[in-house]
Structure 1
Amino acid sequence: MQYFAGLDISQEKTSICIVDAEGRIIAERKVATCPEAIADVLTKFSVTRAGLETGPLSVWLWNELKAAGVPIICMDARHANAALSMMPAKTDRNDAVGLAQIVRTGWCKIVHVKSAPSHEARALLAARSQLVQIRCSLENEIRGVLRTFGIVFGKRVGGFARRAEEIVAGELDISPTIRAVVDALMKARADIAAQVSSLDARVRSMARTTPVVRHLMTVPGVGAVTALGYVATIDDPSRFRRSASTGAYLGLTPKIYASGETMKAGRISRRGDDFLRRSLYEAANALLTRVARPSPLKTWGLRIAKRGGFKRAKVAVARKLAVVLHAMWRSGEAFRWSSSVTEPTAA
């Protein structure tokens, strides 16, 4: 007899429902959210397949249950929610029952659980991105405070800190309170900037020691942050049979609405990893505006910019970069700076 299990995970307790091949409920349990307790229940019934949704604890539980020999799958929470929304009442018990039925029927999208090194790299990049945002917020706050009193920050040679020191030393003598406010904000900014520099060094070190990242950094416009983020997000290039699928995976393809005689193409879906999508957009901007050396990719992007504007061209080039990076990763080929490919000479 085949048994299927659904796990509704919460911070402290996990609801488990086990059903047979006909969908009849065989057992229901509520245990502590720890791999050992969950594995004890699932192994007792020798389940054919168990499933849980993506969430904060799903990676840890999936890895531990997999190591314990449990046939576990991880389901896309958006797909699962579409099925669970048909339940008349939302409870942990009902969610577990619904997940068990989804696992039994196979009507779910199985999510790839990334490796530990990929999660480490993603955590590093996420922390760096958060600190950069905090630094920008502090700088904007300083500018706003000074603008209220008629002091325009402007730009000076030497960067933000040099200009702030000039203002504090010369233009804030009339207001000790504002001087204290700006001093406090500048000290906080300096601390954040030091942590950003520290994480930047770790990113460069990780990029140097990862051959795939170094290889992808040969693409114009792609730096250490973008290449490392791409490798950490994709994790395994064999997940995609076609390189073109990576554009849709990262939310860089248009949403399509087709019904009867109606066919509409909307804006990009923005599904997938937001950080990598923004990184590829910045890489596309660098390729189109800063890289002087011509390439077929840049020429193609500039043609789109002439036809539909630079914003649309950057999105298109970002999607193309996702495809090119995946193709280079799988094949090991170098970036093609010209459209002509030299054929190998016969021996």
Structure 2
Amino acid sequence: MVPTRRHDTMICVIPPPAESAKGSSARSAGPVRPSAGDAMKGCAPPAARIGSGLLLVEATAEPRRCTAMWYVGLDIGLKWHYVVVMDGEGHIHQQQRLPNDPLVIQRFFETLEGPAKVVLEATGNWVAVYERVEPYVQEVLLAHPLKVKAIASARIKTDKIDATTLAHLLRANLIPQAYIPPRAVREWREIVRHRAFLVRLQTRVKNRIHTLLAKRGVTPPGHSDLFGVAGRTWLTTLALPDPYGAMRTRYLALLERFAQQIREVERTIDATVQATLEARLLETIPGIGRYLALLILAEIGDIHRFPDPKRLVAYAGLCPSTYASGQTLRHGHLTHQGSPWLRWALVEAACHVWQAPHSRLAQLHQRLCQRRDVKTARVAVARKLCTILFAMLSKSEPYRDGPPAPVIPLGASDAARR
């Protein structure tokens, strides 16, 4: 035995023992291949390699650790997930169907030896899967479903094909990433959307009361708000036959319950806004209160992920669609891409800029209403709000209303406009 040392590995050269004819034929068949389990781990086993006339035995001082990167495509669903594990060369080493069980998912990713990157699409339950997988892998990427479809669409769609496509795109660094907000921002989104859900339920109950009165041919009195103090008193004392009277009583009880829950959520929103500097800055804009301030901040997240205001406008879906081919250039309606919640909040704020009639935003809205319709004016003011928000959050400054812009007649020349 002739020992030699290479780094921390001891290589022993041992003359082969005498073998029978059967053993000689087996030896001439070629080198010993690693097993399937060792190939899955990406490491060759410390096995014997047969050369010409010598037996090389490689013995390491400590067990090897796999350093190859695994690329995992995860197609998630409500009950089942499909996972594909791939190496850097595109070879699939493992693929299986996993139930939507936290313990099963944790056990699977704990058994992966070596660093791993995981990609999953931004579907309805991605947050829960992301929080379960993140502690056990090196990185988790969130893919934009619409852009993934544009890059790699397949005529036949299965969970296995989707997971394999995601793994290939991740290995090639072609994943169109979606923004993963921090945990605090995700909680803000849940709070403001929960309030919006309660308000919508409250509105549906109010509409049911209006329908009930219309069925009985009852015209409400001239109250400014049918569901205010005087209006509720009139509804309570209104004589209605059964079953309409019982339905009226249940609807009013539901309204009271919804109002109580909305007040509880608003107290949480008020406390969150008070503890957040950016939200207090947004409150200085005319037409934006505490609820809209937190909603806008939750949908934007980190303002520095947008390089310029145009990207923020595009994220809000307030930019016109464009078709350009050769000498043809057309602009159409809004793209309606990005965050629908942010777009709704900005348009809602544009509807209330009249609360500060001397502000530049209110005057812009008034000038646009004189030339175009009200809907177009509101969208234009919402787009202007995007640029203002970008400057405020980037510089951490409150809203400052400058002097009003000079009113220039429509027939003025370009020199006068400048």
TM bucket normalised to smaller:
0.7 to 0.9
CA drift of 1:310 comes to: 1.8
Quick check: 1:155–1:163 contact (8 Å CA) kept in 2?
A: no
Quick check: 1:143–1:152 contact (8 Å CA) kept in 2?
A: no
Q: What is the CA deviation profile of residues 169-228 of structure 1, one whole-angstrom value per residue up to 9, with x for unaligned ones?
A: 24x25x243222211111111111211122122212221221211111001111111110
SS of 1:199's partner is helix
CA drift of 1:269 comes to: 1.4
Q: 1:300 to 1:29 in 2, by over 3 A?
A: same
* TM-score, with structure 2 as normaliser: 0.74
Q: What is the CA deviation profile of residues 107-138 of structure 1, one whole-angstrom value per residue up to 9, with x for unaligned ones?
A: 33111211111111111111111111111111
State how far apart, in whole Å, the 2-side matches of 1:198 and 1:271 are: 32
Q: List runs of 5+ in structure 2 lacking aligned partners.
A: 1-67, 405-418
* TM-score, with structure 1 as normaliser: 0.88
Residue 107 of structure 2 aligns with which residue? 37
Letter matched to residue 398 of structure 2? A
Q: Percent identity over the alignment?
A: 25
Q: 1:76 to 1:157 in 2, by over 3 A?
A: closer
Letter matched to residue 293 of structure 1? H
SS of 1:109's partner is coil
SS of 2:243's partner is helix
Residue 257 of structure 2 aligns with which residue? 191
State how far apart, in whole Å, the 2-side matches of 1:77 and 1:46 are: 25
State how far apart, in whole Å, the 2-side matches of 1:290 and 1:177 are: 43
Q: 1:205 to 1:46 in 2, by over 3 A?
A: closer
Pairing of 1:157-306 with structure 2 (within 5 A): 159-161=226-228, 162-170=230-238, 172=239, 175-287=241-353, 289-295=354-360, 297-306=361-370
Quick check: 2:142–2:180 contact (8 Å CA) kept in 1?
A: yes
Residue 38 of structure 2 aligns with which residue? none
* Range moving further from structure 2, 68-77 or 23-32: 23-32
Letter matched to residue 338 of structure 2? G
CA drift of 1:84 comes to: 5.0
Q: 1:70 to 1:283 in 2, by over 3 A?
A: same
Of 119, 125, 134, the match for 2:192:
125
Letter matched to residue 92 of structure 1? D
State how far apart, in whole Å, the 1-side matches of 2:395 and 2:283 are: 15
Q: 2:147 aligned with 1:79, yes or no?
A: yes
Q: 2:326 aligned with 1:326, yes or no?
A: no
- Superposition CA RMSD, Å: 2.3
Of 30, 49, 52, the match for 2:120:
52
Q: 1:284 to 1:154 in 2, by over 3 A?
A: farther
> Larger Rg: 1 or 2?
2
Q: What is the CA deviation profile of residues 202-258 of structure 1, one whole-angstrom value per residue up to 9, with x for unaligned ones?
A: 212221221211111001111111110111111111111113311110111111122
Q: 1:30 to 1:178 in 2, by over 3 A?
A: closer
Residue 146 of structure 1 aligns with which residue? 213
Q: 1:155 to 1:258 in 2, by over 3 A?
A: farther
CA drift of 1:306 comes to: 2.2
Letter matched to residue 77 of structure 1? P
* Range moving further from structure 2, 245-254 or 105-114: 105-114
Q: List runs of 5+ in structure 1 lacking aligned partners.
A: 341-347
State how far apart, in whole Å, the 2-side matches of 1:194 and 1:124 are: 15
Q: What is the CA deviation profile of residues 32-77 of structure 1, one whole-angstrom value per residue up to 9, with x for unaligned ones?
A: 4434234235x32533x32111123322333443333422211111
Q: Which has the higher contact order (CA 8 A, sep 6+)?
A: 1
State how far apart, in whole Å, the 2-side matches of 1:13 and 1:180 are: 45
Letter matched to residue 185 of structure 1? Y
Q: 2:400 aligned with 1:336, yes or no?
A: yes
Residue 111 of structure 1 aligns with which residue? 178
Q: What is the CA deviation profile of residues 260-290 of structure 1, one whole-angstrom value per residue up to 9, with x for unaligned ones?
A: 2322211111122222211211111111x33
